[in-house]
Chain A
Amino acid sequence: MSKAYVKKSKLLKATLGLKNIMGRHFLAIEQAIRDGTPTAWATSGTPVELLYAMDVQPMLPENSATISAARKYSQKFIELAEDQGFSYDLCSYFKTNIGAVESNVDVTIGGINKPTFMLSSDVICDTHVNWFQVQAERMNVPHFTIDVPHVVSNTNNRQYNYFKKYVAEQVWELLDFIQEVTGHEMNMERSKEVAKNSYDLSMVWQEIYELRKNIPCPISTKDTFGGLFPLFTMPGLKAPIKLYKRMYREAKARVDAGIGALEQENYRLMFEGIPFWYNLKYFAMLEKYGAIIVYEPYTYAFSKFMNPNVTKDMLLNKPIEAMSELMLSFWYIFDLKTRIQKFKETVDEWKIDGVLLHNNMSCRPNACGLYDLKRRLSDDYDIPCLIITSDMNDPRKMNETQVSNQIESFIEILHKRKKK
């Protein structure tokens, strides 16, 4: 790989294959609808693998909402939802979905078909549950929700154990629900295979992340922000594993050749939160300072296998219990104490110079604790942090000038620290 290539385009060649993989996902949905195969809407954080294991085609409205934003349609859909009485302050993914469904638009701009049923959970946010409750009523489809207890900073082991049981019991109930609605039975062999694929997919993703520890970092958010989608929409399928392996190989070659995604890497950053899908150029702006984001909890989160108690063995022998336990511990729901600790460890391991925190006006659960996180990282560990207030899907809530100025000053701070 020549340096000239890297200079021209920071994207991995493999990432170009993402379009194909996601295209396959949407084709599979189309085919399922045509054939009358059951389909389901699912929120992030739910065990999508089980849908694949029961031959139910998943559709992820959050994914569709990002497409609307990237294609600059989200504002229109959001405003349509607001016209129907949904508040300016509600999650913009939800409102994008309301508007997109209402307008009956094509999948290429975030449209999504009516499913056979909906699957949500409150593991990440209440919005997921409220969103599907609202849409299940409007579209007249059944809805199942999994209640996941909140592991807080002082939850003890005894509690954790009955939390696990509670989630697992509901997942078993989910299987009954799916059978009742679709007539499909759970096939344990298929479920193991799906679980194994999901595990392998996650592991390659984690290996890619390991490569990002290198200086210079071989991969930027151009690869990861989009690259996360198969993890989220197709966990359990084989196809994305190949793509991730290609991404890995290419990144590894860059590492071996001492080449980074940026021609000159001056600052290594971490980005917490969901990116501004309607304005990804903001992340490219960092490059002019030689700043590269080398870690995003958001894109790492969906590699879900972060809990050391959930081994591959457990996954293969007790897939339901394993999937249930995974719902209790991953990046997006870490309690504040663990979150602070994990940030500190990540900053050390990935040799990060500064942390950007997205105070997302749509996502109160994620924004909650951000101020304390910032304070603790700066006061206790001397890690520079910057909070940016905006929204992932609603361009009206992004103040470009303000954000640019903030980033510029932040880079200035990092620059001074480097000089010391």
Chain B
Amino acid sequence: MKKIAYFDAGIITPEEILIAADLVPIRLLGNPNIGIDKANEHIPPTHCVWARNILEQAIEGLDSDIKGVIVTHGCDCTNREFDIWLECVDLDFMFFLNAPLKRDKTSLKFFVKDIKELITQLEEHFNVNITNEKIIEAIKLMNKIRNLLKEISEYRSKMTLKGSEFHHIVKNVQQKDKKEALKMLEDKLEEIKTRTPFTDKNLKKIFLTGSVIDDTEFIKFLESLGYQIVQDDLCIGTRYFWINVDETEKPIKALAKYHLSKPIYSTKVPSQKRFDFVKELAAKYNVDGVVNIAQKFCEPILYDHPFMAKKFKELKNPIPYLFIEMEYNRESYKQLATRFEAFAEII
């Protein structure tokens, strides 16, 4: 089966279009076990390490079933690095999806056009016919997946499912054939329902937010310090399934609307709205604290952090908030242990 990869900081690539083209969408994620070498010949070391890590993998050569890549408008990294990908990554199909910055009628109209352009180029390149019927079918499939993920996600706050296991599940879904993913999720849900809650009652309940966090080992590291992630707004997390695509609307418009309505990421405007979503869920899930993680050099998160810090402090019932700038390698996690332990003590 032909696969198509996407490099997307904010998970705004409409996977349904790719599924409707009989392609398997694969989200490109970092690999903290590799050294960055070749990508550093193209991008200065003071630029986002996560993006450089992915470029490194792409230069080395992706899975041979991957026949093309979509880079989706996110931050200055994804946007400017696309041209570098064109220079040094050996793939025939390369598309830059200009997912709009703002969320209004004008942007929606534009996004519809850009998705249509993606469709035209996919049809021409892969010699396929992406019909509305096929898109609707893909939307229905993805809605089922989103619903299942949402249901499974709840077992984190029921203290039955570890945050790390859930993280692994979402990651898996983003990198798998979606029909297989659906089956996997159905089985998983049934199995989880039979579990009994954790015995450890002292776990600190955390809301996790920030840059893309794709290393499950990091979540396990937090768990080893006595934390349980009960809720998040991550792209490998709720931002991937929080709402559904409207099945009654024209499919392309429905997809565009969906991506402009889901919980906002710091790469889009008004990014300060991200605080509202985090606050609401943090309160609803009665968390002990919010942890905001910035990958080193991740500007969108770095710009938003002081605002978030101030807002959490100003709440009538202030929510403890911890901000961490993180290096993308496992060795460095250990150095953060003291800060996480100190935070655990005050919450």
Contact = CB atoms under 8 A, between A and B. Distances in A.
A408 interface: no
B299 A126 contact: yes
A152 B96 contact: yes
A97 to B, nearest CB: 13
Nearest to B41: A371
A90 interface: yes
Interface string A129-150: 1110110010000000101011
23 contacts: A84-B306, A89-B46, A90-B299, A90-B302, A122-B101, A126-B299, A129-B269, A130-B303, A145-B101, A150-B73, A152-B82, A154-B86, A154-B96, A163-B98, A169-B106, A361-B46, A364-B47, A365-B76, A369-B83, A371-B42, A371-B43, A372-B83, A389-B44
Given A166-B113, A365-B80, 7 more contacts: A130-B304, A145-B102, A154-B94, A155-B96, A159-B114, A162-B113, A364-B80
Nearest to A158: B117
Interface of A: 84-87, 89-91, 122, 125-127, 129-131, 133-134, 137, 145, 147, 149-150, 152-155, 158-159, 162-163, 166, 169-170, 173, 335-337, 359, 361, 364-365, 367-372, 389
Closest 9 CB pairs of A and B: A336-B83, A85-B306, A368-B80, A147-B101, A130-B303, A149-B98, A166-B110, A87-B302, A152-B96
A34 B176 CA distance: 63
B221 interface: no
B117 A147 contact: no
Interface in B97-133: 98, 100-102, 106-107, 109-110, 113-114, 117
A159 B267 CA distance: 22
A127 B83 CA distance: 20
Nearest to B75: A126
Contacts of B106: 166, 169-170, 173
Interface residues of B, number: 51
Given A145-B101, A336-B86, A364 B307 contact: no
Nearest to A371: B42
B297 A89 contact: yes
Contacts of B302: 86-87, 89-90
Nearest to B311: A137
Contacts of B117: 158-159, 162
SS of B interface (majority): helix
A129 B76 CA distance: 11
A152 B304 CA distance: 27
A126 B76 contact: yes
Nearest to A126: B76
A166 B100 CA distance: 10
Given A126-B76, A126-B299, A145-B102, A152 B46 contact: no
A91 B75 CA distance: 14
A137 B100 CA distance: 22
B71 to A, nearest CB: 9
A147 B267 contact: no
A130 B44 contact: no
B98 A133 contact: no
Interface in B257-285: 267, 269-272
Contacts of B102: 145, 147
B63 interface: no
Contacts of A368: 43, 47, 76-77, 80-81, 84
A163 B294 CA distance: 32
B91 interface: no
Nearest to B94: A154
A369 B41 CA distance: 10
Nearest to B116: A162
B300 interface: yes
Nearest to A387: B44
A179 to B, nearest CB: 17
A335 B83 contact: yes
A378 to B, nearest CB: 13
Given A133-B270, A134-B303, A372 B110 contact: no
A369 B42 CA distance: 7
Among A154, A163, A359, which residue has the most Cβ atoms of chain B within 10 A?
A: A154
B22 interface: no
B10 to A, nearest CB: 12
B272 A133 contact: yes
B90 interface: no
A130 B300 contact: yes
Nearest to A359: B44
Interface in B1-54: 41-44, 46-47
Contacts of B75: 126
B269 A364 contact: no
B309 interface: yes
B306 A372 contact: no
B157 to A, nearest CB: 29
Contacts of A166: 106, 109-110, 113
B79 to A, nearest CB: 5
B305 interface: yes
A130 B80 contact: no
A130 B110 CA distance: 22
Given A129-B269, A137-B272, A147-B107, A370 B44 contact: yes
Contacts of A170: 106
Given A155-B96, A162-B113, A335-B83, A367 B47 contact: yes
B135 to A, nearest CB: 20
A23 to B, nearest CB: 33
Given A84-B306, A90-B303, A154-B94, A133 B271 contact: yes
Given A87-B325, A166-B106, A372 B87 contact: yes
Nearest to A336: B83
B337 to A, nearest CB: 22
B172 to A, nearest CB: 31
Contact of A336 (B87, B101, B307): B87
Interface in B297-326: 297, 299-300, 302-307, 309, 323, 325
Contacts of A159: 114, 117
Contact of A147 (B44, B96, B100, B109): B100
Given A89-B302, A364-B47, A130 B271 contact: yes
Contacts of A89: 46, 296-297, 299, 302
Contact of B76 (A87, A154, A361, A364): A364
B47 A372 contact: no
Nearest to A122: B101
